[in-house]
């Protein structure tokens, strides 16, 4: 019985790894599909400058999220009502 549980947990960990890999691939594809028009920043328009700064912050957040590890086991335990 313990061997079977070990086997199932190993398979589950492999599937979780594959899911994370696929999520990362999808995120990268979505990022490459987004076309952000570049604006001439020489005009000094404060509204345009604010938007560009906001865009830079959001792009940095996306990069941070791409490199942040996820813990699918922890997520599953929380959604299932805690560890068993």
CA distance 19 to 14: 9
For residue 75, how far is the Cα from the chain centroid? 14
Which residues, at least 6 apart from 13, have a Cβ–Cβ distance to it below 8 Å? Answer: 73
Number of structural domains (the chain) is 1
Q: Nearest 5°: CA angle at 42, between 41 and 43?
A: 95
Q: At 84, is the pLDDT very low, low, confident or very high (cuts 50, 70, 90)?
A: very low
Residue 75 in domain: no
Residue 28 in domain: yes
pLDDT tens readout for residues 29-58: 887 777 655 656 666 778 888 888 898 898
CA distance 67 to 55: 19
Which domain range does residue 15 map to? 2-33+41-69
Highest-pLDDT range among 25-29, 35-39, 74-78: 25-29
Residue 24 in domain: yes
- pTM comes to 0.39
Residue 84 in domain: no
Residue 22 in domain: yes
Residue 81 in domain: no
Which residues, at least 6 apart from 24, have a Cβ–Cβ distance to it below 8 Å? Answer: 66
């Amino acid at each position: 019985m313990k061997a079977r549980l070990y086997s199932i947990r190993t398979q589950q960990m492999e599937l979780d790894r594959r899911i994370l890999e696929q999520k990362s691939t999808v995120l990268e594809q979505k990022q490459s599909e987004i076309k952000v028009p570049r604006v001439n920043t020489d005009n000094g328009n404060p509204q345009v400058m604010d938007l560009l700064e906001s865009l830079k912050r959001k792009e940095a957040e996306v990069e941070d999220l791409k490199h942040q590890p996820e813990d699918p086991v922890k997520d599953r335990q929380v959604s299932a009502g805690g560890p068993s």
